[in-house]
């Protein structure tokens, strides 16, 4: 079965084709980062307009690149939520209209489920059940994944998400938006010179809180008489170490508590090199395994939506000419 996947929940237009027998056939992505950078964050109206501008050319490009006639597509998966309403409506309308014209079903997908299952597209994926660390711009969750569609959130952030903390810290250091990658590159040039808080490290539960860490960075920045490149690199390094330590410790705790042995890491912050290293080192010491998606599938993309659709073909809906998006939608 060939599934077309469409992702438009935020600032990336992603389209992909996933074959249940052959795997990923192809994918294409347009990032709107340049469009929103000047505003220091995503402007919803601009995001929707850009999705509208590019969704058809991107789809046509992917179909011609992969030599796939439209009538070979068996089902269309699309991100129904959570995300920006206007942006979600572009992908949903496109998916539903195309499915209607081709007389094929649609599969509405939860964006976070896409992230969660993305590592399973790689070779030698873990078997269910497993633990997942979902670290994106909007979420920091530890999830007990029992099987496709059965998710228990056992740890969550009380305030800022990990990606948000990276982005806000990056902004304080003048690194632009979104700053996660830039901050991690700067951190490589610095040293662990500043002692920053490890929020909730010893709370005994699996929850996170990163707003205090961001405030500590703000105070640190303000305390510098001269914020040299050298000091910025040291702050970036110290911040990254603090956040990595908390994420690693809580994942280890969650594995111990649930008696699960595999951890899957997904979401944009899952691309972070130091986090990957720290999880790999610390988990292997306790004979736990860790699985990551390839870097390009950590951040938003269409492939994870096409793949989630392929895993959920049983849930496909026959078209009834009505559809809705779910800008707020709990994963559990």
Which x/- pattern, by CB under 5 A, does the window 91-130 give for Zn ion? ----------------------------------------
By CB under 5 A, is residue 300 in contact with Zn ion?
yes
Strands of the chain, DSSP E: 2-7, 12-19, 23-31, 75-81, 106-110, 130-135, 140-147, 150-155, 262-266, 289-291
User: CB under 5 A: which stretch of 12-20, 146-154, 178-186, 296-304 binds Zn ion?
Assistant: 296-304
Pick from Zn ion, ligand KG4, none: which does 83 bind, CB < 5 to 8 A by kind? none
259 vs 262: CA distance, rounded Å: 9
Sole binder of ligand KG4 in the list 52, 148, 154, 181 (CB under 6 A): 181
Phi/psi for 265 (5° steps) reads -115, 130
311 vs 332: CA distance, rounded Å: 17
Pick from Zn ion, ligand KG4, none: which does 269 bind, CB < 5 to 8 A by kind? ligand KG4
199 vs 208: CA distance, rounded Å: 7
Sole binder of ligand KG4 in the list 32, 141, 272, 278 (CB under 6 A): 272
By CB under 6 A, is residue 180 in contact with ligand KG4?
yes
170 vs 292: CA distance, rounded Å: 24
Pick from Zn ion, ligand KG4, none: which does 28 bind, CB < 5 to 8 A by kind? none
140 vs 9: CA distance, rounded Å: 18
By CB under 6 A, is residue 136 in contact with ligand KG4?
yes
Nearest residue relative to ligand KG4 (C-beta): 268
Query: How many residues make up the chain in this entry?
Result: 332
Query: Minimum distance between the CB of residue 73 and ligand KG4, rounded to whole angstroms?
Result: 25
Cβ-Cβ contacts under 8 Å for 322 (sequence gap 6 or more): none
222 vs 112: CA distance, rounded Å: 36
Nearer to Zn ion, 74 or 300 (CB): 300
Pick from Zn ion, ligand KG4, none: which does 316 bind, CB < 5 to 8 A by kind? none
DSSP string, 49-103: HHHHHHHHHHHHHHHHHTT--GGG--EEEEEEESS-HHHHHHHHHHHHHHHHHHT
Sole binder of Zn ion in the list 13, 136, 184, 278 (CB under 5 A): 136
Sole binder of ligand KG4 in the list 184, 244, 248, 278 (CB under 6 A): 184
Binding site for Zn ion (CB under 5 A): 136, 300
Binding site for ligand KG4 (CB under 6 A): 136-138, 163, 166-167, 178-181, 184, 267-269, 271-272, 299-300
């Amino acid at each position: 079965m060939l599934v077309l996947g469409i992702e438009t929940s935020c600032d990336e237009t992603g389209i992909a084709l996933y074959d249940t027998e052959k795997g990923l056939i192809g994918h294409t992505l347009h990032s709107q980062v340049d469009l929103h950078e000047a505003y220091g964050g995503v402007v919803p109206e601009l995001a929707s307009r850009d999705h509208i501008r590019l969704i058809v050319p991107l789809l046509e490009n992917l179909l011609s690149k992969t030599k796939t006639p439209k009538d070979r597509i068996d089902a269309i998966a699309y991100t129904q939520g959570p995300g920006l309403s206007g942006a979600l409506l572009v992908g949903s309308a496109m998916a539903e209209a195309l499915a209607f014209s081709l007389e094929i079903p649609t599969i509405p997908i939860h964006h976070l489920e896409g992230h969660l299952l993305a590592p399973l597209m790689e070779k030698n994926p873990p078997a269910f059940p497993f633990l997942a660390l979902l670290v994106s711009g909007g979420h920091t969750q530890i999830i007990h994944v029992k099987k496709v569609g059965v998710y228990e959130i056992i740890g969550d952030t009380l305030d800022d998400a990990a990606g948000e903390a990276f982005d806000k810290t990056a902004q304080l250091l003048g690194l632009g938006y979104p700053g996660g990658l830039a901050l991690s590159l700067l951190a490589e040039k610095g040293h662990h010179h500043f002692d920053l808080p490890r929020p909730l490290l010893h709370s005994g539960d699996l929850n996170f809180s990163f707003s205090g860490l961001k405030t500590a960075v703000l105070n640190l920045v303000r305390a510098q008489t001269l914020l040299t490149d050298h000091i910025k690199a040291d702050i970036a390094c110290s911040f990254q170490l603090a956040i990595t330590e908390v994420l690693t410790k809580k994942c280890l705790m969650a594995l111990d508590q649930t008696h699960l042995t595999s951890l899957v890491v997904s979401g944009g912050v899952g691309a972070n090199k130091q986090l990957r290293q720290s999880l790999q080192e610390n988990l292997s010491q306790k004979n736990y395994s860790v699985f990551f998606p390839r870097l390009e599938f950590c951040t938003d993309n269409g492939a994870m939506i096409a793949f989630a659709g392929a895993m959920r073909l049983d849930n496909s809906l026959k078209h009834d000419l009505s559809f809705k998006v779910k800008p707020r939608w709990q994963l559990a």
